Structure 1
Amino acid sequence: IFGCAALFPFPESSMGEMACVAVNPGAQGQGDGERLLRHIEQRARAAGLKRLFVLTTRTMHWFLKRGFVQVTPDELPVQRRGLYDKQRNSQVLMKDLSSPTKDIAV
């Protein structure tokens, strides 16, 4: 296994959460994270979702390079907002899926 990622849809808000993102340290830097992100984006679009969000404490820069922007927890879907743990100090990042996907050079 080189990595994993999950998509949790919130169809009533036209949003999805990309979660549980991990790439094996021995496989990092080979584009596997990019492939996971593209796959999750494709699944989210196929499900009719308009935006994708992540909560991160350590990899904000990676997501920012890939078109995500920082937002406040208030922009999370209502159901997810109630589960947001302020103690973790997670950054909330959002990406508009209506714009075309660009490959990012890292």
Structure 2
Amino acid sequence: MFGGIIVISIEELKDLANRLKFDMSEEEYQTLQKEFEIILKQMDLIGQIENVDTVEPMTFPYPVSASWIREDVEQEGLEIEELMSNIKDRMGNFIKVPKVVG
């Protein structure tokens, strides 16, 4: 249980955004802060439900037949040259991809 509503400041959101390497407008930060407030209130309400510890967790309420799942069968893998034959840009046995981070 949370025991009270947690407030996330815009400064905390900006710090988090900075650490995640993105930025937003002031309006977007305000919207995000309001959305967090709603989510945290809902989490607090859920935390107030009594006797949750006595209920067995339920992953899926209906019995599931997995007859469509095949058995794992060990088989021979492909050779590296066969796997790499369609690769446009490679370096030895590695695939070269464009750099995606600064």
Taking structure 1 as the reference length, what is the TM-score of the superposition? Answer: 0.27
Q: Decide which structure has greater helix share.
A: 2
Larger radius of gyration: 2
